Amino acid sequence: MHHQRLLALALACAGVPFAAADKTTTIDAKSNWGTWEGWGTSLAWWAAAFGNRDDLADIFFSLSTTKFGSQSLPGLGLNIVRYNAGACSWNSINGTTMVVSPKMITSRQMEGYWLDWASTDPASSSWNWYVDSNQRNMLWKARDRGANIFELFSNSPMWWMCYNHNPSGSDSGSSDNLQSWNYDQHAVYLATIAAYAKANWGFSFTSVEPFNEPSSNWWNGQSGTQEGCYFAISTQQAVLGYLRTELNNRGLSSTIIAASDETSYDLAVSTFKSLGSDALSKVGRINVHGYEYGSGSRDGLQSLAAGAGKKLWNSEYGESDATGTRLVSNLVLDFRWLKPTAWVYWQVLDGGGWGLIDADNDALTVGSANQKYFALAQYTRHIRPGMVILDGGGDYTVAAYDASSKKLVIVAVNWGDNQYINFDLSKFTTPGVNGALVKRWRTQLTSGDQYVAYSDTYINGTKFWSYFVTNTVQTFEVENVVL
């Protein structure tokens, strides 16, 4: 290895190329696609099952390597936590109890804090702040490991605010289930949790989201497997106004409202255009889910958000491809066209390929990390909060720059045949140091290398290159780079 490095340095200094690159991408040093806020996950539902596990907190919210069964897992370093305000309780209110969908999955019933409408006073017996301890415990563990952005979100209003008393949705799935006289109460519920957290839980919610895929028609109380609620545009408009008022009334004027967490980019565009200027003035950030995958108007939504001066998150993404292929494909599309400032994976623990680690929230069993875990690690461990996202020069490359350390990070994927990819840094004022080592990490999608570090790549003038086998994602860190 020592002789190989000396040879590489000698060739670099002599300006002799090591190999002809099959493809070249030029990183645009003058571009700026936003300052990266971070990576995250939603705690519902997995943390309600496994919220007391320190090893899982280490794996997801730190950068440390954790022994996990037969695996050694590099921590993902997630810094964004989405905490779910539950909609379920099992008390009786004047003889009325919660209606449960016949297909409801038990682990997806999230306990709510507001038990009845008798009092809005959080110190009264109408509120129970001891429920949902597992999800809350994982939130604290995440905070203690460096998580610094917290979002409170709702899948459904409390069951007793719903027309049919079923937090899985209306009986049709396509009509409002929040009673019109409870529009403000839904806002009171969320604002009260946010205020209580600030006073008692040792952190403050950065944002509050009152909806979850509100324009979708699958929130059906007859067939639903989880909490959910349809909200017409007019209802969204009303709730947004009430929520802004209730947050302000509790001294939370700096807590922003995020909306509307539509399931797809196209639905998000439609909702944005329909909400109107007054409702949008209450929204501090646009949240969207990535379930349109390779389709949809990512650039259209980005243009609307940028034109309104609002940040944009992909606040929920997930699928059942355990190889990581679909995740990387859609993540690259998001960076290039959606240009979010944060990206959140839905269920880091789940079965059927949906989780990054296989798990069963009902049986309380945990398996091993899949290849998707390691594919995501290529991005989360290297593109860190505070970095500026740059134009990577192509639809297979993501680039980020850390001004404080003068470090350039490039994450690239090769979908084609085995080939060399050349990275051109000529647009930088200082493209690193000629002959310097470029650290790289490799994950082979489907199978092979999981997350393997290599020290075999060097800068040659204003370029460096690396060999990619098909379906491989690699990360490169270039030191001493100046924009």
Distance, C-alpha 198 to centroid of its chain: 23
Between β-strands 256-262 and 283-289, what pairing exists: parallel, antiparallel or unpaired?
A: parallel
Instruction: Quote the tokens at residue 200.
Output: 């008692």
Q: Which of 39, 75, 55 is nearest to 346 (CA)?
A: 39
Instruction: Quote the tokens at residue 233.
Output: 């545009």
CB-based contacts of 28: which residues, under 8 Å, 6+ apart?
390, 391, 393, 427
* Max Cα-Cα span within the chain: 85
Tally of residues, the chain: 483
CB 250 within 8 A of CB 191: yes
User: Looking up tokens 């049919």, which residue turns up?
Assistant: 164
Q: Which of 426, 451, 450, 428 is nearest to 440 (CA)?
A: 451
Per-residue burial over 236-257, b if 16 or more Cβ lie within 10 Å, else e, is bbbbbbbbbebbeebebeebbb
Torsion over CA of 44, 47, 50 and 53, rounded to 10 degrees? 170
DSSP 328-395: HHHHHHIIIII--SEEEES-SEESTT-SSEEEETTTTEEEEE-HHHHHHHHHHTTS-TTPEEEB-SST
- Bridge partners (DSSP) of residue 150 are 81
CB-based contacts of 130: which residues, under 8 Å, 6+ apart?
none
For 55, 57, 132, 148, the CA distances from 64, given in Å and listed in that order, are 11, 11, 28, 17
Q: Catalytic one among 37, 209, 213, 246?
A: 213
Q: What end-to-end distance do the CA atoms of the chain give, in Å? A: 32
CB 381 within 8 A of CB 76: yes
DSSP 4-30: HHHHHHHHHHHT--SS--SEEEE-BTT
CB-based contacts of 127: which residues, under 8 Å, 6+ apart?
113, 114, 115, 119, 121, 192
Is 262 assigned a catalytic role? Answer: no
Is 213 assigned a catalytic role? Answer: yes
CB-based contacts of 367: which residues, under 8 Å, 6+ apart?
357, 358, 359
CB-based contacts of 370: which residues, under 8 Å, 6+ apart?
322, 323, 324, 353, 355, 356, 357, 358
Question: Which residues are tagged catalytic?
Answer: 213, 316
